[in-house]
Amino acid sequence: MKLSMHALSVEVFVNALGNLSWILEKGAASAQQRKFDPAVLLAARLAPDMFTLTRQVQIACDISKSATARLAGQEPPRFEDNETTIEQLVARIGRTVDYLKSVPASAFEGSEARDIKLPAGERTFEFKGLAFLQRWALPNVFFHITTAYNILRHNGVDLGKRDFLHAGRDA
């Protein structure tokens, strides 16, 4: 249990993505129990110009893998955005976790000082690896996972923060 860039990126993302799968599965169970198509949840959003649940999950996966790849100096795998069911989203999360776990911890050594350029529309943000993790990667991954949780919760899925943290599983 050692402090490292790997521990504060891959390990955090793997844990958070596992919790995302867990809350999605609770969403699927809730739809079945309340007798509606789970696709209703996948198309739900909190505001007309926010992303749907499906897109929140896809982006949470993409940011986890692209941030990991940038810190480790790799190219991330590309996934097609073609999921139409909760099972498929859970599978995408699984593929993301498989990729994250495939990157050796040694690849993150010194990554706190790595120069990272992040194209964002017309401009490019430049970070050192540590600031990239602090101010871009961590907030961004949790943003999309929390928003997925909030969409489910707003649609009546019986979730609590224990599910988001999933502390009962692995604390």
Q: Tokens 């604390």 correspond to what residue? A: 171
Residue 84 one-letter amino acid:
T
Cβ proximity to its own copies: between 42 and 141 the closer is 141
For residue 147, the minimal CB distance to its own copies (Å) is 6
Identify the residue among 72, 80, 127, 163 touching its own copies (CB under 8 A).
Answer: 127
Using CB under 8 A, which of the segments 28-36, 77-85, 93-101, 124-132 binds its own copies? 124-132
Q: Which stretch binds its own copies (CB under 8 A): 26-34, 35-43, 72-80, 122-130?
A: 122-130
Residue 21 tokens read as 């799968």
35 binds its own copies (CB under 8 A): no
Contact between 30 and its own copies per CB under 8 A: no
Binding part of the chain for its own copies, among 33-41, 71-79, 93-101, 158-166 by CB under 8 A, reads: 158-166
Output phi, psi for 119, to 5 deg: -70, 130
State the nearest-atom distance from the C-beta of 72 to its own copies, in Å.
Answer: 15
Phi-psi region at 7: left, alpha or beta (left = phi > 0; alpha = psi -120 to 50): alpha
Number of Cβ within a 10 Å radius of residue 103: 20
99 counts as binding its own copies under rule CB under 8 A: no
> With binding defined as CB under 8 A, does residue 171 bind its own copies?
yes
- Three-class SS of residue 155? coil
CA dihedral 91, 95, 98, 99 (to 10 degrees): -160
Interface pick for its own copies out of 4, 66, 74, 88 (rule CB under 8 A) = 4
Q: Is 110 left (phi over 0), alpha (psi -120 to 50) or beta?
A: left
26 binds its own copies (CB under 8 A): no
